[in-house]
Structure 1
C-alpha cells in the first residue's frame, strides 16, 4: 500500500473552498491527475453516489470508478475507487476553517499488487500531484 498526504492553508473561507472542490465541472482547472468525468460528476453529491473519472497517474491513463463514502458539507469529502489492474484508491479531503482561511488536507492511498511493484515512485508522483493540485485550487479561490 502507498499512502500520501498534502496540506495547505488557503486564504478563503471553507464555504468557498468547498464550493470549488465539489464543482466537478472545474476539476480540470486544478486537479493535476484529472483528465475527464466521462458521465459527469456524482449527481447528486451524496454518500453512496458513484461516478467514473479518467485520470493520468505517473504519466499513464487510468479509469477509476469512485464511490462517495464520507460527506459532510464544507468539512469532509471521502471517496473510494477501483482502478485498473485491481488497484484500490481512496481520497479524503478534510477542510478545517481557520478564520477567513481554510486548512485543506488531502489524504490518499493506493493498494493492490500493481502498487507494491512501484510504491516508491507512486508515492513521489502522487505527493507532487497533490501539492500541485492544492496550489492550483488555492489560486482559484483566493
Structure 2
C-alpha cells in the first residue's frame, strides 16, 4: 500500500473552493492527474455517485471507476476507486474554513499487488501531483 497526503491554505472562502473542487467540467484545470471522463463529464458528485475517469500517474494511463463514499457539502469529498491490474485507490479532500481562507487537505491511498512493486515511486509521484494540483486549485479560486 502507498499512502500520500498534501495540504495547502488557500486564500479563498470554503464555498468558493468547494464549488471548484466539485465542478467536474473544470476538473482538468487543476487536477494534474486528470486526463478526461470517458463517458462524458459526470453531473456534480453526491452521495454514492459513480463515475469513470481517465488518469495518468507516473506516466501510466489508467481508467478508474470511482464511487463517492463520503460527501459533506463544503467540508468533505471522498471517493474510492478501482483501476487496472487490481489497483484500488482512495482520495479524500477535507476543507477547513479559516475566515476568508480555507485549508485543503488531501489524503490518498493505493492498494494492490502492482502497487507493492513500485510503492516508493508511486508515493513520490502522487505526492508531487497532489501538491501541484492544490497550487493550481488555489490559483483558480484566488
When normalised by structure 1's length, the TM-score is 0.97
Does 2:71 correspond to 1:71? yes
Indicate the residue corresponding to 2:9 in structure 1: 9
Is the 1:40–1:51 contact (alpha carbons within 8 Å) kept by the matching residues of 2?
A: no
1:34-88 Cα deviation digits (max 9, x unpaired): 0001223443522111000000010010000000000000000000000000000
**8 Å Cα contact 1:87/1:113 also seen in 2:** yes
With over 3 angstroms needed to count, the CA separation of the structure-2 counterparts of 1:103 and 1:38, relative to structure 1, is same
Alpha-carbon distance in structure 2 between the residues aligned to 1:136 and 1:46: 23
What count of residue pairs does the alignment treat as equivalent?
142
Alpha-carbon separation, structure 2, partners of 1:7 and 1:132? 11
User: Where does structure 2 lack aligned partners over 5 or more consecutive residues?
Assistant: none
1:39 aligns with 2:39: yes
Please report the RMSD computed on the Cα atoms of aligned residues, expressed in angstroms: 0.9
1:59 aligned residue? 59
Q: Distance in 2 between matches of 1:75 and 1:113?
A: 32
Structure 1 unaligned segments of length 5 or more: list them: none
Cα distance in 2, alignment partners of residues 129 and 40 from structure 1 = 23
Displacement of 1:131? 0.1
- CA distance in 2 between partners of 1:44 and 1:130 (Å): 21
TM-score, length-normalised on structure 2?
A: 0.97
**Residue 110 of structure 1 corresponds to which residue in structure 2?**
110
Structure 1 contact 54–62 (Cα < 8 Å) conserved: yes
Whole-Å separation in 2 of the counterparts to 1:121 and 1:140: 29
- How far, CA to CA, are the matches of 1:18 and 1:40 in structure 2? 21
